[in-house]
Homo-oligomer: A and B are copies of this chain.
Amino acid sequence: MLTKSEANLIHALKTRAGREKHEAFVVEGVRVVEDLMAAGIDLKFAVVAPSLEDSPRGRAIGAALYARTTVRRLRDAELTALGATETSQGVIVIAHTPHRGLDQLQLSQRALVLVLDAVQDPGNLGTLIRSAEAFAATCVLALPGTVDYWNPKVVRAAAGAAFRVPLIGDSPERVWSWLAENAFIVCGADARGSSLQDLESARHIALVVGNEGSGLREETRAHVARMIAIPMPGRADSLNVAVAAGILLYELSRT
C-alpha cells in the first residue's frame, strides 16, 4: 500500500511544475530502473507489482530495490491506475532529481557541450541526450523554453543517458558567460551555415541547436560565433533536429 503522501507525490510528478517543486521524477520499466540504479541516482521509494516477477531481470531489480529503498507493493491494476506510466512492467521508481550546476563541471582538454534552445519534443530531447553521451559531451545545457529533462518521455527516449550525462538548465546570461569564460567556440546548427572543415584547431566547442519549427532564436544567434551546416546532396533543411545534432556531434567529436 502507498501512503497518502506517496500517492499525492506520484500524482504531482506528472507535471513539470510538480517535478520542479518536489525535485523528483518518476521512471518506469525494468530497463530504465536498472540504468537509474546503476547510475547511483538517489531514490525516494519504489512501487512494484506482481508482474515484475515474470522475468529474471525483473526479480533481480526487485531484490536490488528492496536493498536500497522503501518498496511499496500494489496489484498490477493498481499500479496502472496510478496513471504515472505507460508500460511499467511492474515497477516504477520515484527518484530525486540530480542537481548539476555549471560550477561543478570538469572540462576535459577538448570539451564538447550541447546547448538546447527551446527544443520542444520530448522524444527529440531524449534522443539528443543519448547522442550527447555517445559522443562524449561534457554536459547538456538547456536554455529556457526547452522541454523538461525529467518528463517521462524524455527519460525513456534517453535510454539511460539522462542519468549519466550532466543535464543543466540555467539562464541564458549564465550559460553564455560560462561558455565565454571557458573559451568555448559557440557553433550554431543552421541550414544556411558553413561546413565544419576549419574547426580543427578549436579547443572547447559548444553546439547550439534550436527549436524544431523555428530554429535558433534571434537572441541566441547573437551569441553564436559560427553557423555550421550539414552538407546534404538531397533536400536541404529537411533533417530532424536530433538527427542533425547527432551528425554534428559525430563530426565535432572527431575534429
Judging by beta carbons under 8 Å apart, are A233 and B127 in contact?
A: no
Judging by beta carbons under 8 Å apart, are B232 and A134 in contact?
A: yes
What are 5 pairs between A and B in contact, CB < 8 Å? A127-B243, A131-B239, A242-B243, A243-B243, A247-B247
A45 interface contact, C-beta 8 A: no
Q: Which residues of B contact A236 (CB under 8 A)?
A: 134
- The B-contacting residues of A in range 128-184, CB under 8 angstroms, are 130-137, 157, 159-161, 164
Contact-residue bracket for chain A: 20 to 34
Min C-beta distance of A126 to chain B, whole Å: 8
A159 CA to B243 CA in the complex, in Å?
A: 14
* B-contact bits for A220-255, CB 8 A (1 contact / 0 none): 000000000011111110111011101100100110
Which residue of B238, B253, B254 is within 8 Å of A133 (Cβ)? B238
Q: Which residues of B contact A230 (CB under 8 A)?
A: 134, 250
Q: Which residues of B contact A130 (CB under 8 A)?
A: 238-240, 243
Interface residues of A, dominant DSSP: loop
A123 interface contact, C-beta 8 A: yes
Which residue of B123, B159, B250 is within 8 Å of A238 (Cβ)? B159
Judging by beta carbons under 8 Å apart, are B127 and A234 in contact?
A: no
Given A230-B250, A233-B135, A250-B230, A240:B238 Cβ within 8 A: no
Judging by beta carbons under 8 Å apart, are A240 and B161 in contact?
A: no
Q: Which residues of B contact A136 (CB under 8 A)?
A: 232-234
Min C-beta distance of A199 to chain B, whole Å: 16
Judging by beta carbons under 8 Å apart, are B157 and A240 in contact?
A: yes
Min C-beta distance of A153 to chain B, whole Å: 11
A160 CA to B231 CA in the complex, in Å?
A: 20
- The B-contacting residues of A in range 48-106, CB under 8 angstroms, are none
A234 CA to B135 CA in the complex, in Å?
A: 5
Given A134-B239, A239-B134, A231:B247 Cβ within 8 A: no
Which residue of B160, B164, B238 is within 8 Å of A161 (Cβ)? B238
Additional A-B contacts beyond A134-B230, A240-B246 (9; CB < 8 A)? A127-B243, A130-B239, A130-B240, A131-B239, A133-B235, A159-B238, A161-B238, A230-B250, A239-B246
Interface core residue of A123, A161, A230, A231 (most chain B CB under 10 Å): A123
